[in-house]
Every structure is written in structure tokens, then in C-alpha cells.
Amino acid sequence: MRVKLSRESLESDLVRLVEEISGEDLSTCYQCGKCSAGCPVAGSMDILPSQIIRLIQLGLVEDAMASETIWLCAACQTCYARCPKGVDLTRVMEALRELAMQELGDSLQVAQIAPCDLAEFPQQAFVAGFRKYTQ
Amino acid sequence: MRFAYFPGCTLETKAIGFDRSARQVAGELDADLVTLQEWNCCGATFPLSTDNLLDIVGPARNLVSAAEAGESTLVVACATCFNVLRRTNHALQQNADALEKINLFMERPADYAGQVQVRHLLDIFDHEVGLEEIAKKSRPGLGGLRVAAYYGCMLLRPANEIALDDPERPDIMDRLFRAMGAETVEYPHRGECCGAYLTVRSPDASMEITHRILAAAIRAGADVIATACPLCQFNLDWLQNRMAQAYAGFQKIPVLYFTQLMGLAMGLDATGYDFEKHYVDPRPVLREAGLLHTPSTVAVGRP
Amino acid sequence: MDAAGTASLTARENTPPRAMIIGAGITGMQAALDIANAGYEVVLVEKLPSIGGRMAQISETFPTLDCAQCIMTPRTVEVGQHPYIHLITHSEIESIVGEIGDFRVRIRRDAAGVNWDLCTGCGLCVEKCPKRVTAEFEMQMGRRKAIYTLSPQAVPNKPVIDRENCIYYATGKCRVCERFCPTGAIDFDQAATHIEERVDIIIVATGYDLYDQALLPEYGGGDVPDVISGLAFERLLSASGPTAGKVRRPSDGKEPKEVVFIQCAGSRDPEKAMPYCSTICCMYTAKHAMLYKHRVHDGQAYVFYIDIRSGGKRYEEFVQRAMEEDKVRYIRGKVSRLFRDGDQVVVWGVDTLTGRPIEIAADLVVLATAIVPRAETRDLARMLDITIDAHGFLVEADMHLDPVGTGRPGVFVAGAAIGPRDIPEVVALGSAAAARALSLFTRWTREKALAEGVAHAI
């Protein structure tokens, strides 16, 4: 199935939303892949960080929202630190998480966490986890 | 010297050993840490979206509180709290519109103008106390203990906002440990993420990256890992059980807070350091290195 | 001065016009030969002890894989022997005053410690000198003596003494070179001298330097062993280089079997204030990978690239040859970082085409570091009051229609000092600058002849 591109699809509402929420201009990214090369979790991701941007550049925001990648981003900022064009990919990931949760609900339920883990984990793990994974 | 201090929720509870050792060591070095009267959880991650100003209110309230208490500096030991507060401060300093809205929303007696400086405890030790002074106070010292300093993300990035150390080749902790008589170990993943909150949802992903960090440190000959963040400490520590199952031949290694090591180097009473709460017990290694001085740390029960 | 900015010869009545060319790399040499062969005198000033510039450091040239020394040495010899080229090496420009038709240049010739009028270039002093230091010409891949020539084919083939590293200057002892010199050419007390030259036009051809690896901390910052620049690898490939052309790891001398080439190391990076493309790296990296494979048949070469820029004549075919014939594996993705792990250098890259993060345990890593202008170019531009851009490159009068002119009449620019360029282009620019000079020279000569009635008007 061919991906159909047009002016409308490239400038869709979702694309605008991602750019607005993240504050990043995705046309800056020239797809060098340095972010993906340095991302510590990239090996576990289904779509590479640079490919997330590529999907948005092609107007395919829903595919990006449906990835496991955006939930594996730990916001470690390594991508942003090394990007030659200064794109803050962590902000793009955050925007996608927000949009995904608006559509699909929370990505993490308290019920999913084992009771023993609830007792063990430091507070900040939950505070951060719930901030990132729930609305 | 005295500094206004922001402990953060985790240091008050799960990581109280970090807090106690930080206060004790700072006190010994004439850099008393005085907790802010009014403080709240920093939020544990800096909000990255532009449409969520409310997320900044939480951390901002701490800066406002410090300003109202007449503090020009706010010192933080937890790397994550440090990162969040510092980035929040930077965001408010850079964005006049956001600052105005926050001030209007909070309706405090005086508007916050970005005047508080957020500094990490390592920065205070390096620049206010000085390594020379710390070296002098390091009796008995760390006796050549091989320490792998682990910086993680929060102390280093984004470099232009955090400005604590070189993000690619950090050495503030290494220099500190060397001044205290340790041998610091070079390994390639010192500034790499531990997984942070990923552990809550995808512990295997966290395990993979923390294993890489630890394995490199162990290969480089480290006796212990030193860290400045309770979540890093937790990930590097708690996940080792999983690692032992997943990776054949994995050798466990204790993970300590940098202030715990400092306290030991300075011969302080380590009773409150909570070594027994660590998942990989650090006491055998510390005992072997001759660093456990206080009888009470041995008598706590588990050998 | 007439309205067009050209001078008449009244400034220096009966002297034929002379040109000064600053920089004796391939660009400067081309310009010098063009002007000299037209019958005019050239003062050619070079900072290094001998001429040839970067091309003298190169092993083979793309896309033909011609031996750089073989094609260049006839030029250097011609320049060295040309009756109209007054070659001043081991020298720098101190000041320039005046204007077109009458530039007065003060040149400082550094003390060589050797009287070149007596020296025959026999090389005995170099052979006998006991002090070895890292050689800049070899890009730190090899060593030279404290008394040295840059290379065996140096023109002039006369040595200079590196005072900082010479045992005699440091301790008063040694003097072995003096003892062995058959013509008594060693002169430890030699002082720097000053030369004043009056010229009509000046051509600046000061060439390029490489981006400092210290500014690439994620690629080792220059501190990780076996991570070297392209020019350093060039020296390893060179038959007259420190390893006689055998590819060896600097750390242990072993032959590397896994070699990673990283393009765009510092180029195309606005965050590092280096937004431009360095133009030649895609080509020389392909060349390096091919030459490596020609020498180490069981080795594997990887090239991490973002794009391949191969627009010159026969360039694209050359890169394809690297991929098809020499099985160089091109991987599209920028390396994020590298680090030492035991004996090897671990490279973290990515293949954006398959969407996989890539890790390679390399024996040797070659960085195609960005091309930057030499620091001296900035100083010269100030002296000459000509424009340089934000990166320090000389600015041509018009990007399209005046590639060698400047805002200053009588001052021309050429070569890689304007921007990263390949050899065919810099040679063309050298000739272009020479043509501009000759245009003025012949015009003035003709005007003079017309005025004297010894030429016919058209």
C-alpha cells in the first residue's frame, strides 16, 4: 500500500499539534540518525528515534503515536545533546505521548505494577512514571 | 557557610541514607544544609511540552519559597530534583510570559523574578568548599578504593541549562573521589541513562542499559559505583538480581551515594547511612577496604 | 589610479610588474608558474620550509588514484628552478602597505639555523641528529629529527632546525649536525632576517587546516588511541610516510582488520557553528577505504555517511567502484559516539535505511574532520583589508562571476583558503588568479609601450 502524500497530509492538524506542543520545527531534522545511534534504549525500540521524526515529516503522526518507542524514551537528552541541528527530540516524544494518551488513554495503570514493586520503588520513579505515562 | 537545601521527596523517605550522609558531610565541611521551610515535590521530570504550564507550578513553587525566605541559592543533592528545579528556573528566566502567568497564578506576596540560583551539592563541594579542604578532612580517606563515578543524565544534560560539568567527559565526581584518596575508574558509560522511570513500565529495557553500565565499570576494575540520584541508585542496585538471572557470570557490585563515600572517607559515623537497605549489600566491600569504622554499622544485624 | 582601479606604471617607472603569491601549495604554485611562464617575476612566499602544501602529504589523488608526489614533483621542481620565481620559504608576512601597483611587503624569514647558500641538501645532518620528535607533516603518525626537511622530495631540499626541540639550543650540547656537515652550513647563531619586496599585485593562497579533534568529544576528543584524521590516514597510506605505506594502528603497530570511516566529523553541524559541507571528504573517504582494501585484502572497511557528495568529473563512478569492487560497506547514519574498549574502539552508529542501531568494534577509526581555513589567513586578511566570512574563509568578490577577486584592487584570492575545494578546482582558481594578474600586467606593459610609441594601437 503506497503512502499518499499531499500538501494537506504533510500539514495536517496532528502535525501542527506535534510541532506546537513540542515547540520544535521538524523540517530542521535532516535525518542523519545521530540521535538513534546514541539513544541508549534504541535497541529495544520498534521504530528508531530518527524514524519517529521521519514519520511526522511525512505526515504519518498516527504511526508514530502507535509505536512502542515513545514509551521507551527516558528523556535522557542524549539525542538533543548530540543533534547537529539542535532538534530537541525529547520534546517531540513528549508531544506524541500526550497525543497518544488523549486518544488511547493512559499507558500505565497502577494495577499493572506488582505490589512488591510498589513498596520497593523510590517515590520519584512513580511520580515521573505517572507524569509520563498517564494524563 | 550555610545553604538553603531542597531534599526532595525521595531523600526524605526511601533514600534517607543519601540525605543523612549529605547533611552530615556538608556540616563537617562547613557548608550547613538548612532545609527550606516550605517545599514540595519537584515533579521528578521536567515537563517537556509547551502546552502544560501547570506542570511547572510544582517545581516553581520551591523557587518562590526560596526567594521568599530571602535565599539567593538553593542547594540540591538529588540529581533529578536538581535537574528539574534548574530547568524550571531557566524556563522562567527565559520566558517572561510563563513567568508572569506563574506569578499571577500563585498569588504570592512578591513576584518571583528568577533570582534564585539552583546549585548541586557537588558544585558546592567543588567551588565553595574546595577539593583542597576536602582532601585535608579526608582522614582516613578512601584508601585506594576503586570507585566508578556514575553521572547519569540529570547532572549533565542539557549542558547549556545545567552547566555543571562537561557532558561528554564529566569529572567533577572523579576529582572529588581522588581528592579523598580513591582510585577512580575510567569506563565508557558514565553519562548514560540508567533508564529512570522506564523501570516502572519496562524493567527489561532498564536492565539492559544498566547492565551495560555496570559490566563496563566492573570490567574496568571498579569496587563500587557512586551515584547522585536515588533513581539511578535504585536502578543500578535493584536490577542486579534480574541481571544475575539474565546474564551468565554477572558479578554484583555495590552502588553507593557519593555522600556516603564521602562520609566514610572522613571517618564519620555512618549509622544513618542505611547500608542495610541497599539491594547489593555494600558492607562486605567497604569492610574489606577498611572503611567501616562505626561499630553500629556492623551491629545492625545482617553480616 | 584610474577609475577602474588599475594603476599605471608611474609608481615604479621602468620595472616590469611583479606578483607576490602567499602560499606555495598546489594553488600558489600553479599561479606562480602561470605568471612566471608569461615572462613576469613572482615572489612566492611560503611559511613551511618547503613547498607543495597539503598535496605533498597526500598519497594518491581521487578519482584517478594518481600518485600525488609523481604528478606534483615536476611542478615543485619547476617552481624551485624557475628563473622568474623568487622562492622564499620558512617565512611569514609581517606587514603590507601600499596599493595595487605598489605594495610594499615586509617578510620575516625565520632562522633556520642552516645557511642555505652553503647547504647542498646531502641530508647527513638529518641522518646523524640524535633527537626525534613527533612530526607535524606526518600528522603525528611518525617522527622527524630536530633538524629536518618535510619530506624526501622537499623543494628546497634544505633543512631547518626546530629550536624548541634541538638539544643544542636547550642544553648547549650535541652539535652533531655541525660536526658532520661537509660544507659548514650549520649556523646556530643565525637570526631571523627581514626582506622587503615591492610588488604590483598579491595573490593569497594560504590553503586549509583540519578541524580540531578536541572539539569532537563524542568522537574521542583526540584522546582515544587509534582514532585519527583523514590526513593522518593519508600519511599511513603514503609510500614515503611513517609506515612506508603499510596500514598500521598507531597504538600497537598491528594491521587493522576492521576500519571505520566516519564522514561529516564536524561538518554540516550548525550546533557546533560549522554548518557547511567540507566538499572533499566523501571523495577522499572513498579513496581511503579503497586504498585500505587494496593493502589489506582481508580487512573490512565501513563508511558511515549522511549523504554522498560526488559531483565532480568521474567522481560518482569512483565512489561506486569503492562499493562494488572493493566491497566497502557504506552505512547511512551518523555515528553518535565512540569509546575505547580494551584493544578496540567501539563505534555506536546507526543504519537509518534498515532502522537498526549499529555497533562496530573497530581496530582503527578514521574521522573525516571538517576543513577549516588556516589561522594565518585571518591575519593576512586583516593586513590586506580583505573580507573573511564567519568561518575565517576568504570571501571572493562575487560568488558567481568573480571567484578570485576581492574588494581590494590588486589583491586576489585562490584555492582552499576561499573554501573547501578539490585539487582540480584549486588549480583552476590558481590559474584564474594568475590570469587576472597577467591581464593587469599585460595591460600596463601595453599602455607603457603605447605611450612610448613602440606599440601599435588596435
Mean pLDDT of B100-111: 90
Answer for the pair C7, C410: CB distance below 8 angstroms, yes or no: yes
pLDDT surpasses 60 at B300: no
> Which phi-psi region, left, alpha or beta, contains residue A69 (left: φ > 0; alpha: ψ -120 to 50)?
alpha
Q: Does B302 contact C at CB distance below 8 Å?
A: no
Looking at the fold, whether A112 and A67 belong to one and the same domain comes out as no
Residue A79 lies in a domain: yes
Q: In whole angstroms, how large is the CA radius of gyration of chain C?
A: 24
Query: Which residue of chain B has the CA closest to C216?
Result: B168
Are A126 and A70 in the same domain? no
HEC-encoded secondary structure of chain B: CEEEEECCHHHHCCCHHHHHHHHHHHHHCCCEEEECCCCCCCCCCCCCCCCCCHHHHHHHHHHHHHHHCCCCEEEECCHHHHHHHHHHHHHHHHCHHHHHHHHHHHCCCCCCCCCCEEEEHHHHHHHHHCHHHHHHHCCCCCCCCEEEECCCCCCCCCHHHHCCCCCCCCCHHHHHHHHCCCEECCCCCCCCCCCCCHHHHCHHHHHHHHHHHHHHHHHCCCCEEEECCHHHHHHHHHCHHHHHHHCCCCCCCCEEEHHHHHHHHCCCCCHHHCHHHCCCCCHHHHHHCCCCCCHHHHHCCCC
Contacts of B17 (CB under 8 A, 6+ apart): B257, B260, B272, B273, B274, B275, B277
CATH code at position B199: 3.40.50.11810
Residue pair B207/B239 in contact (Cβ under 8 Å)? The answer is yes
Amino acid letter, residue A1 = M
Supply the range of the domain harboring residue A123: 108-135
- Per-residue confidence at C8, pLDDT binned at 50, 70, 90? very low
Supply the mean pLDDT for chain B: 93
**pLDDT over threshold 60, residue B297:** no
Mean pLDDT of B86-110: 92
C362 vs B contacts (CB less than 8 Å): none
- Write the residue in C217, C221, C341 that is nearest to B188 by C-beta: C341
Strand runs labelled E in C167-284: 193-199, 201-204, 208-210, 227-229, 258-265
Residues B73 and B222 grouped into a single domain: no
Query: How far is it, in rounded angstroms, from Cα C260 to Cα C141?
Result: 18
Give B100 to chain A, closest Cα distance, Å: 20
Candidates A77, A83, A108, A110: best to mutate against B (most CBs of B within 10 A) is A77
For residue C12, name the pLDDT band (cuts at 50, 70, 90).
low
| Mean pLDDT (whole number) for B74-80 | 97
Is the Cβ pair A81, B167 closer than 8 Å? yes
Pair (B198, B282) in one structural domain? yes
Q: Residue B247 pLDDT > 60, yes or no?
A: yes
* Measured distance CA(B21)–CA(C189) in Å, rounded: 65
What whole-number distance in Å separates Cα of residue C213 and Cα of residue C367? 9
Q: What pLDDT score was predicted for residue B110?
A: 85
Query: What is the dihedral sign for C-alpha C401, C405, C406, C407?
Result: negative
CATH of domain C9-110+192-207+374-451: 3.50.50.60
Same domain, yes or no, for B283 and B151?
Answer: yes
Distance CA C341, CA C220 (A): 12
Give me the amino acid identity at C8.
S
The pLDDT assigned to C455 comes to 83
| Mean per-residue pLDDT, A108-114 | 83
For residue A37, pLDDT over 70 is answered with yes
**CATH number for domain C212-370, candidates 3.50.50.60, 3.40.50.10300, 3.90.1300.10, 3.30.499.10:** 3.50.50.60
Residue C224's pLDDT band (cuts 50, 70, 90) = very high
Q: What share of chain A is helix, strand, coil (3-state, %, to 5)?
A: 60, 0, 40
Q: Please state, in angstroms and rounded to a whole number, the distance separating the CA atoms of residues C433 and C36.
A: 13
Q: Residue C19 is inside which H or E element, if any?
A: strand C18-22
Q: Are residues A17 and A42 in the same domain?
A: yes
CB within 8 A of B154, min separation 6: which ones?
A: B79, B80, B82, B83, B162, B229
Helix, strand or coil, per DSSP, at residue C276: coil
Domain extent, residue B30, equals: 2-121
What are the structural domain ranges in chain C? 9-110+192-207+374-451, 124-180, 212-370
Identify the contact set of chain B against chain A, taking CB-CB distances under 8 A: 8-10, 13-15, 41, 43-52, 55, 78, 80, 153, 157-159, 167, 192-193, 195-202, 204-205, 208-209, 212, 230-231, 234, 238
Strand order in the sheet with B146-149: B183-184, B146-149, B224-227, B255-257
For residue C5, what pLDDT is reported? 44
How far the first Cα of chain B sits from its last, in Å, is 39
Query: What would the mean pLDDT of C342-351 be, rounded to a whole number?
Result: 97
B128 within a domain of the structure (yes/no): no
At CA B158, angle to CA A126 and CA A17, rounded to 5? 70
Give the number of other Cβ atoms within 10 Å of residue B205's Cβ.
Answer: 21
Looking at the structure, do residues B180 and B292 belong to the same domain, yes or no?
A: yes
B43/A123 CB distance under 8 A: no
Domain count across chain A: 2
Same domain membership, residue B255 and residue B144: yes
Nearest by CB: A37 against C270, C272, C334 = C334
Are residue B156 and residue B226 in the same domain, yes or no? yes
CA distance A2 to chain B (A): 32
Residue at A60 is within a domain: yes
Q: Do the beta carbons of residue B93 and residue B72 sit within 8 Å?
A: no
Cα-flanking dihedrals φ and ψ of residue A68, to 5°? -80, -25
State the complex-level ipTM: 0.94
Residue C347's H or E segment, with its range, is: strand C344-351
C206, C27 Cβ separation under 8 angstroms: no
Tell me the mean pLDDT in the region B246-271.
95
A112 and A95, same structural domain? no
Interface of chain C toward chain B, CB-CB under 8 angstroms: 217-218, 221, 337, 339-341, 346
Cβ contact A33–C333 (<8 Å): yes
Tell me how many degrees the CA angle C8-C14-C15 measures, rounded to the nearest 5: 85
Q: Say yes or no: B79 and B41 in one domain.
A: yes
Mapped onto helix, strand or coil, the DSSP state of residue C345 is: strand
- pLDDT exceeds 60 at position B33: yes
Residues in CB range of C215: below 8 A, 6 or more apart: C221, C266, C272
**What pLDDT does residue C6 have?**
46
Q: Of B230 and B300, which is predicted with more confidence?
A: B230
Helix axes A89-104, A13-22, angle to 10 degrees: 130
Residues A38 and A20 in one domain: yes
One fold for C9-110+192-207+374-451 and C212-370: yes
- Who among A43, A74, A117 is closest to B193 (CB)? A74
Which pLDDT score is estimated for A114?
Answer: 83
Residue pLDDT, tens place only, C396-451: 999 999 999 999 999 999 999 999 999 999 999 999 999 999 999 999 988 888 88
On whether the CB atoms of residues B211 and B243 are closer than 8 A, the answer is yes
Model confidence at B293, pLDDT cuts 50, 70, 90, reads low
Query: Does residue B210 share a domain with residue B111?
Result: no
Chains contacting chain C through 3 or more C-beta pairs under 8 A: A, B
Q: Which of C334, C338, C358 to mutate to test the interface with A (most CBs of A within 10 A)?
A: C334
Does the beta-carbon distance from C217 to B166 stay under 8 Å? yes
Of C221, C341, C346, the CB nearest to B169: C221
B188, C221: Cβ pair inside 8 Å?
no
Within a domain: A1: no
Q: Do A50 and A90 fall within a single domain?
A: yes
As a whole-number percent, the residues of chain C with pLDDT over 70 amount to: 97
**Structural contact between residues C99 and C410, judged by C-beta atoms closer than 8 angstroms:** yes
For residues B272-286, give the mean pLDDT: 95
Q: Are residues A63 and A81 in the same domain?
A: yes
Q: Quote the cell numbers at residue A25.
A: 520545527
Q: Give the per-residue pLDDT at B298.
A: 43
Residue B20 inside a domain? The answer is yes
Assess whether pLDDT exceeds 90 at residue C284.
yes
Which chain A residue shows the shortest CA-CA distance from C347? Answer: A37
DSSP C114: B
CA A120 to CA B239: how far, in whole Å? Answer: 12
pLDDT of amino acid B302 = 39
Dist CA C123 CA B162 (whole Å): 57
Q: Residue C217: its chain B contacts at CB < 8 A?
A: 166, 168-169
- Between A and C, how many CB-CB pairs are < 8 A? 73
Is B204 part of a structural domain of the chain? yes
Look at residue B131 and tell me if it is in a domain. Answer: no
- B23-32, C156-165, C413-422, C445-454: which has the minimum mean pLDDT? C445-454
Chains adjacent to B (≥3 CB pairs closer than 8 angstroms): A, C
Q: Look up the CATH number of the domain holding residue A43.
A: 1.10.1060
- Name the minimum distance, in Å, from the CA of A45 to any CA of chain C: 9
A8: contact with B, CB 8 A cutoff: no
Q: Are residues A17 and A82 in the same domain?
A: yes
Q: pLDDT at position B170, please?
A: 97
Say whether C109 sits in a helix, a strand or coil. Answer: strand
The x, y and z cell numbers of residue B201, run together, are 513500565
- Find out whether C405 and C433 touch, Cβ atoms under 8 Å: no
- Which of A48, A84, A86 shows the shortest C-beta gap to C350? A48
Please name the amino acid found at residue A99: L
Contact criterion met (CB < 8 Å) for B49 and A44? no
Rounded-to-integer distance, Cα B108 and Cα B38, Å: 13
Which pLDDT does position C289 carry in this prediction?
98
Mutate to test the interface with B, among C223, C227, C341, C345 (most CBs of B within 10 A): C341
Indicate if B159 and B266 belong to the same structural domain: yes
What is the average pLDDT across A79-102? 97
Span B121-147, mean pLDDT?
96
A2 inside domain: no
* Mean pLDDT rounded to a whole number for chain C: 95
Quick check: A108 contacting B, CB < 8 Å? yes
Q: Are residue B217 and residue B147 in the same domain, yes or no?
A: yes
Query: Of all residues in chain B, what percent carry a pLDDT higher than 90?
Result: 92
Give the domain-ending residue among B121, B154, B189.
B121
pLDDT of residue A73: 96
The CATH number covering residue B76 comes to 1.20.1050.140
Partner B contacted by A76 (CB < 8 A)? yes
Closest CA–CA distance from residue A123 to any residue of chain B (Å): 5
Segment C358-364 shows an average pLDDT of 98
* A77 contact B CB<8A: yes
> Looking at the structure, do residues A51 and A113 belong to the same domain, yes or no?
no
Return the bridge partners of C132, or none. C145
Number of domain units in chain B: 2
